[in-house]
Structure 1
Amino acid sequence: MNKDAYLSLLDICHTHAERLRWSMKELEKHKPFTPASLEKLTQLDLAIFDQFIVRFSKLQDAMGAKLLPATLELTYEEGELATFIDKLNRLEKIGALSSAEQWLKFREMRNQFAHDYPDDPEIQASLLSKAFDMAALLLDELQRVQTFAGKYM
């Protein structure tokens, strides 16, 4: 992978990250997320929550599908890494990721967003609280990957 292609992937991730950070800042005033606090959200607040969910999902997906494999390419790591978990484990071992297990939790959270729980405010509040905390960790991982890749650019 050439430097320009890698930087282009980083730009995409940064766009998602920037919008994720903005939505988190806007939603901060509604914490802690409870069924009662979610009930009081305006249409604009709900749209910002949607932005949060979409940008978390897009950032996780862009990193997992493109940026992490490209980071491995930059390092010219030896060996056949047939499965995604093998790639995650290698990225953790070389210091590009803090934890392969944590990455799987990000992916699980993204998958949970695909399920809508409109009739269960308890599940909604719990999911959003957990996702909000995980979003900060996901943003930290992006910074970690970028810093790591910088050594190979």
Structure 2
Amino acid sequence: MTLKQVCEELDIHFSRIDALIPEIKSYLPFKETDFNDTEKIKTIDAFIYRFTKVQDRMGEKFFPLVLNELYEYKRSMALIDVLHRLEKLELIESSDKWIEYRKLRNTLTHEYPDNEDEIIEAINLSIEAYVDMKHIYSMILKRL
């Protein structure tokens, strides 16, 4: 996959999340009773799906391809190595923050019906994280 193809895919995900954000923001802060509202759940599920796609594609495809464009990538690099290199190049603010986004993504993709508080917190945090992820994407594209 080329950088252009990954960017086209990410642009679609960002665009679709941007269309959902106004409705999602009207639900904030997300509450336990919202799990009973079918329309809210549809919107939140769509957001979670796109959020996880963005987080995955940026970490697994976009970041390595960016480093490759800069002649900084080696096939043997683990995600943490990619993140550290991006941080060193000042393309991301913090590799630790990206790892937190990864943990957030993992929480969102594992539905624990008996732990709604954790899911609610993750949903609320993911909306903030999305804004930062989109900013990171935009800034990297400007730098390239």
Q: Considering the TM-score relative to the shorter chain, is it more than 0.5? A: yes
**C-alpha displacement at 1:78, in angstroms?**
7.5
Equivalent of residue 15 in structure 1, options 12, 16, 41:
12
**Match in the other structure for 2:40:** 45
**Match in the other structure for 1:142:** 137
Superposition CA RMSD, Å: 2.1
**Match in the other structure for 2:63:** 68
The residue type equivalent to 1:28 in the other structure is: K
The residue type equivalent to 1:89 in the other structure is: H
Do 1:72 and 1:91's aligned partners in 2 also have CA atoms closer than 8 Å? yes
Q: Percent identity, aligned pairs only?
A: 26
**C-alpha displacement at 1:132, in angstroms?**
1.5
Are 1:59 and 2:50 counterparts?
A: no
The residue type equivalent to 2:90 in the other structure is: G
**C-alpha displacement at 1:103, in angstroms?**
1.0
Are 1:33 and 2:30 counterparts?
A: yes
- C-alpha distance in 2 between matches for 1:62 and 1:79: 18
**C-alpha displacement at 1:61, in angstroms?**
0.5
Do 1:17 and 1:59's aligned partners in 2 also have CA atoms closer than 8 Å? yes
Do 2:48 and 2:108's aligned partners in 1 also have CA atoms closer than 8 Å? yes
Helix, strand or coil at the partner of 2:9: helix
Normalized against structure 1, the TM-score is what? 0.83
How big is each residue's C-alpha offset from its partner over 1:13-51, in whole Å with a ceiling of 9 and x where there is no partner? Answer: 111111122222221111122224x1563x222111001
**C-alpha displacement at 1:125, in angstroms?**
2.0
- Range 117-126 or range 57-66, more displaced: 117-126
**Match in the other structure for 1:129:** 124
Do 1:85 and 1:100's aligned partners in 2 also have CA atoms closer than 8 Å? yes
The structure with the larger Rg is 1
The residue type equivalent to 2:142 in the other structure is: T
* Structure 2 residue ranges without an equivalent (≥5): none
Return closer, same or farther for 1:94/1:134 CA change in 2, 3 Å cut-off. Answer: same
Helix, strand or coil at the partner of 1:105: helix
* Structure 1 residue ranges without an equivalent (≥5): none
- C-alpha distance in 2 between matches for 1:66 and 1:79: 13
Report which structure shows greater RCO (CA 8 Å, sep ≥6).
Answer: 1
- C-alpha distance in 1 between matches for 2:40 and 2:95: 33
The residue type equivalent to 1:18 in the other structure is: S
Normalized against structure 2, the TM-score is what? 0.88
The residue type equivalent to 1:93 in the other structure is: K
Helix, strand or coil at the partner of 1:9: helix
How big is each residue's C-alpha offset from its partner over 1:91-124, in whole Å with a ceiling of 9 and x where there is no partner? Answer: 1111221211111111111111121132343233
